Chain A
Amino acid sequence: MAYSEKVIDHYENPRNVGSLPKDDPNVGTGIVGAPACGDVMKLQLKISADGIIQDAKFKTFGCGSAIASSSLVTEWVKGMTVDQALAVKNTQIVDELSLPPVKIHCSVLAEDAVKAAIADYKKKRASRAEQ
């Protein structure tokens, strides 16, 4: 199966690889997928008090499409509000990267990773508000 040029570009030059301090109250961490399924994405978002995503980092275990999907989504969500990021749909990733049907799950995983990171951030905020 041939990869699209955009997948190859993100795979060979992945954007925003790395980790943010996961104990930072302004950082939300989402880990989705499972090693037994062949892909795991860790996506971290640093979110300001007014709900703007200031930074995004990822690490991915998976095929080229999984790495490209996570790289792309970190590029997209930087500068977005939390609500804008929650509105990112996997189909947008599919279209941008021209993913074939067997790779759609990679885009779903990237969407889920964003949602999981935001959920983690909100949970942290809520537990801090309680204290």
Chain B
Amino acid sequence: MKLPIYMDNNATTPLDPRVLEAMLPYLTDKFGNAASRSHSYGWEAEAAVDHARDQIGSLIGGSGKEIVFTSGATESINLALKGAAAFYHERGRHLITLQTEHKATLDTMKRLERDGCRVTYLPVDREGLVTPADVVAALEPDTILVSIMLANNEVGVVQPIAEIAAAVKAKKKDVLIHCDAVQGVGKVPFNVERARVDLASLSAHKIYGPKGVGALWVRRKPRVRIDPVIDGGGHERGMRSGTLNVPGIVGFGVAAALCQDELEAEAVRLRALRDRLHHGIASQLTDVYLNGSLEKRLPGNLNLSFAFVEGEGLMMAIKDVAVSSGSACTSASLEPSYVLRALGVGEELAHTSIRFGLGRFNTEEEVDYVTKLVVDKVNKLRDLSPLWEMHQEGIDLKSVSWVAH
């Protein structure tokens, strides 16, 4: 077993060697511009891009012709939200999203608010879920778009996107549904037809593809229109100008095809590893809390709060394991994760959270190593924690009047 162990696959994933192999020719001999119509270099690049479109379309149950390539999912989300708000501004100025969405969505919504739109940020329940009824209740006469993520990046909670879209369309059929599918696609079944979404944002580097390439799926029937954010040579049917990143797109396509082939078996394997990690830790330590729904969750995600042990301190203790924390001790604001806060997790527990993101290359041996390491270090840090000492003495920490600084 090699150290350090990478267990932060919700942040990014390593490139699958099979993806790299497919990309290499397009970084060397096959360097053509996919927009060159006058020679074989261009035709070769265009054919490779179109093949990748079909591979990605197939993964999400859509057509390759509906794929618009971008530099990544942040750009896709910006394009979907700003593009639809601009095109449909005469239809309405109201949008709906969730408080637990990624910053790419929330900050884009904030920008739209500054530009004259109104946005409803829906709360979630303690499990991290929103119900179709909650979304429908937020509809207004001029609502043009609802943006809901498929799966959350911090707690892995999978939203009932198909049920939400069906309920929204039943109430108001011209409302567009955008789905930030970045974390969920390739990990849980997601089909744009069954889910009845109109726009879906995707990223290659979360599914063992390269960084710097993403896609926006834009429904053609019935046709969804968006204004471009980047103008130029009219690439991607005018929706996103700029020379295509051919090697990146080829890699994205192969990554999507591999996910499609392996999704079911990989989900079973990852869920077993995740549960092994969870049970291993929870059976040896008290006061460990799971954040977010266990049932409606990405198979590889585990987000735990280790009460009385600060998250960043714990990460330093397990420095041979790459994970993330909801503690924002490194940020100037000292504010812990807004996602955990939206789930109703208290600030003191949010500071103690660790996100384990298991992926394609993690093994059972690694899970067992991490389990033992985490248990040892949490015990060590609890011995060092004044809060643990007070808890052992039976003092209710909520009754203490703390001197915040």
Contact = CB atoms under 8 A, between A and B. Distances in A.
A, B bound: yes
Interface of A: 1, 3, 11, 14, 17, 19, 31-42, 59-64, 66-67, 101-102, 105, 108-109, 112, 116
B268 interface: no
B346 A63 contact: no
Nearest to A38: B351
Given A11-B316, A35-B347, A102-B332, A60 B385 contact: yes
A62 B329 contact: yes
A36 B385 contact: no
Contacts of B312: 38, 63-64
B405 A61 contact: no
B384 A40 contact: no
Given A62-B329, A67-B313, A102-B330, A40 B387 contact: yes
Interface string B372-405: 0000000000011111110000000100001111
Interface in B300-332: 308-310, 312-313, 316-317, 327-332
Interface of B: 308-310, 312-313, 316-317, 327-332, 334, 336, 346-348, 351, 383-389, 397, 402-405
Given A41-B386, A60-B386, A36 B346 contact: yes
11 contacts: A31-B386, A35-B387, A37-B405, A39-B310, A42-B386, A61-B385, A62-B310, A63-B329, A66-B313, A67-B384, A116-B403
Given A40-B402, A62-B310, A35 B384 contact: no
Contact of A36 (B329, B330, B388, B402): B402
A109 B336 contact: no
A61 B387 CA distance: 7
B405 A105 contact: yes
A33 B331 contact: no
A11 B389 CA distance: 19
Contacts of B316: 3, 11, 63-64
A38 B334 CA distance: 8
B320 to A, nearest CB: 13
B384 A17 contact: yes
Contacts of A40: 386-387, 402
Contacts of A66: 310, 313
A17 B313 CA distance: 16
Contacts of B383: 17
A36 B384 contact: no
Contacts of B334: 37-38, 105
B348 A35 contact: yes
Q: Which among B309, B317, B389, B402 has the greatest number of chain A C-beta atoms within 10 A?
A: B402
Contacts of A31: 386, 403
Given A19-B389, A39-B329, A102-B332, A33 B405 contact: yes
A37 B310 CA distance: 10
A40 B348 CA distance: 11
A61 B329 contact: no
Which 9 pairs of residues, A with B, have the shortest CB-CB distance?
Answer: A34-B402, A35-B348, A42-B386, A36-B347, A63-B312, A38-B351, A59-B386, A64-B316, A34-B404
A23 to B, nearest CB: 13
A58 B384 CA distance: 8
B405 A38 contact: no
A35 B405 contact: no
B329 A38 contact: yes
A2 B128 CA distance: 33
B384 A60 contact: yes
A38 B326 CA distance: 11
Contacts of A101: 332
Given A39-B329, A61-B308, A64-B312, A33 B384 contact: no
Contacts of B329: 38-39, 62-63
Contacts of A35: 347-348, 351, 387, 397, 402
B314 to A, nearest CB: 9
B313 A63 contact: yes
A128 B312 CA distance: 42
